Amino acid sequence: MSDRQRLRLGYGTNGLTDLRLDDALGLLADLGYDGVGLTLDHMHLDPLAPGLAARTARVARRLGALGLTATVETGARYVLDPRRKHGPSLLDADPRDRAARVRLLRTAVGVAADLGAHAVHCFSGVTPPGTDDATAWRRLTEALAPVLDATADAGVPLAIEPEPGHLLATLDDFHRLRAALGDPAPLGLTLDIGHCHCLEAAPPADCVRAAAPWLRHVQIEDMRRGVHEHLPFGEGEIDFPPVLDALAATGYQGLTVVELPRHAHAGPRLAAESAAFLRDAAAAAVKGAPAC
């Protein structure tokens, strides 16, 4: 099975917000994780505070010393606006608000390049009230253009995530964006396995296979059909061995990052339990895979 990739497991720092970043990284290394989904936020590598370059360099050294790799995530809830979750977005009516989100994403690209990260994650945002579909898509494509320029220059792909409730919510929406932008090379996909189970018509394993050519980042958690709630493994409905088998078969080489942002109060325990669960599921997938 030389063409099958080993699961490279990460854990999102948005599920470890009660820990200092150094402590969170040390925990993940001790648990045998391969890397980290690093959300730029006020408690973990604040992208707006002074001295970002020096702080990023320290994190890069820490990652190197621990043998961890990274993806950079930009889903912090209140990093730009302390009163509006995930605001401002790429879809806001005020061009100054859209520009603020673009600046954050371009900053994230620079951080990712300095960390040697696999990708920069982003999402479209929720369509503002009173905004028609055509206007929302126009704003999204126009806002992403300078971000994609930055990723092309830095050599780090942008991986946009279909998010329930957002303008770009499904794999079909991703392909609509890709076509509207002319299929730019730096634009890839963040595939959240729980979101696939929540919204997509196809099973998650089929979504993985369909998304393989554009896959740059993977998030994983349990979930129930039609309910956008990130759950610890075993508390939802997803059958994980087929999903991990599909990931291995695609040749995906990035991180598969556990995404439990609402469970930070139990972060250390869930990081340990998640690693054990996914390793068992990956072993079951290998055992059940056809011989090569």
The per-residue pLDDT for range 213-235, each reduced to its tens digit, is: 999 999 999 999 999 999 999 99
Q: Which residue(s) pair with 218 in the sheet? A: 191, 256
Delineate the domains of the chain, giving CATH numbers in brackets.
9-288 (3.20.20.150)
Q: Is the pLDDT of residue 244 over 90?
A: yes
Q: What is the pLDDT of residue 1?
A: 33
- Output phi, psi for 74, to 5 deg: -125, 30
* pLDDT at 2 exceeding the cut of 70: no
b/e string for 15-26 if b means 16 or more Cβ within 10 A?
bbbebebeebbb
Determine the average pLDDT of the residues in 262-280: 97
C-alpha to C-alpha distance for 58 and 147, rounded to whole angstroms: 25
Tokens of 288: 């059940």
Mean residue pLDDT across the chain: 95
Q: Taking the mean position of all CA atoms in its chain, how far away is CA 178? A: 18
Q: Residue 289: pLDDT above 70?
A: no
Give the per-residue pLDDT at 3. 61
Q: Of 243, 242, 231, 233, whose CA–CA distance to 277 is shortest?
A: 233
How far apart, in whole angstroms, are the C-alpha atoms of residue 73 and residue 159? 9
- Binned at pLDDT 50, 70 and 90, residue 55 comes out as very high
